[in-house]
Amino acid sequence: MQTTITISTDSHNGLFDISPRVQEFVEKSNVQYGLVNVYVQGATAGIMIQENWDNSVQNDVITLFRKLIPSGVWEHDAQDNNGDSHLKAGIVGPQETIPIINGTMGLSTWQNIFVCEFDGPREARNIVITVLETKN
């Protein structure tokens, strides 16, 4: 099964929790054992599994990337001034795959799935969710 969800982002750089929407689709699939792949379309966003307890870790991720990959110093900036966004997205990557165990995602208590926005705000970010069933 496969679906595409769309979210909007309200900041230039930020992490946006999509776990409830992914879990909803996993439940709808009725797959008890398998994999769910979460893939963001676009060259300036990524998917990351990260702690969800509070916003401090998400804020730290953004702060780390700002320190490691500053804006305004990359060759690609001459085209559309977002060279840093492409580099950040390339490091994070566009997808994560999570096991499905007894009909639910096999995330730990403190893990959630985040869209990492590096070139926002965006009215629409499309995320493709694919559920694959395996034999237990």
Q: For residue range 102-125, list pLDDT tens digits in order.
A: 999 999 999 999 999 999 999 999
Question: Looking at residues 64-93, what average pLDDT do you find?
Answer: 95
Q: Which of 14, 67, 3 has its CA nearest to residue 45?
A: 14
State whether residue 125 is helix, strand or coil.
Answer: strand
Tell me which of 1.20.120.160, 1.10.10.10, 2.60.120.460, 3.30.70.380 is the CATH number of domain 2-133.
Answer: 2.60.120.460
- Enter the pTM of the model: 0.95
Question: Looking at residues 5-15, what average pLDDT do you find?
Answer: 97
Cα 77 from Cα 22, distance rounded (Å): 34
Q: What confidence score (pLDDT) does residue 135 get? A: 83
Question: Looking at residues 87-100, what average pLDDT do you find?
Answer: 98
Percent of the chain at pLDDT > 70 equals: 100
The mean pLDDT value of the chain amounts to 97
Q: Check pLDDT > 80 for residue 136.
A: no
Question: Looking at residues 85-113, what average pLDDT do you find?
Answer: 97
What single string gives the DSSP state of each residue in 102-119? Answer: TTEE---TTEEEEEEESS
